[in-house]
Amino acid sequence: MINVAEILYDPDLNQDFTVYRKTGTWTAGRYSETETPLSFTGVILPANAKEINQFPEGDRVTGMMKFFSEREIYVTRSNDEGKGTSDQILWSGHRYRIINVKPYKDYGYYRAFGVYMDGE
């Protein structure tokens, strides 16, 4: 299989961004969430019209971006890898909430779609 991960680190294409990963625990009936910043590198592109139409979130007048990374990006989950709400990405001074992830692990990358949070 073709591994496209090296493109994700091409200095002509890649950019740095910060992933904020949230995890939490229940303690005495109260949910406590912790946010951890993680440094990522990858390719960032705006979502095209076809991709935007695939998501209900695309109906809103917000920016939708797609983030390509060799490292896994998460949506809200409760599985063997743990529990947590969707990752948020800080890029170019704006924060995006991840709404969908396509795991192309066999090709060496993950593609995540995020919507602009605009003060949520």
Domain that holds residue 41: 5-24+34-116
Task: Output 78 or 84, whichever has higher pLDDT.
Answer: 84
Contacts of 15 (CB under 8 A, 6+ apart): 41, 42, 43, 44, 91
User: What's the pLDDT tens digit per position in 52-69?
Assistant: 777 665 555 568 899 999
Residue 85, pLDDT score? 84
On whether residue 29 sits in a domain, the answer given is no
Report percent pLDDT > 90 for the chain.
48
Is 13 contained in some domain? yes
Work out how many domains the chain is built from and give that number. Answer: 1
Question: 24: pLDDT confidence band, cut at 50, 70 and 90?
Answer: confident
Mean of pLDDT values over 40-58: 80
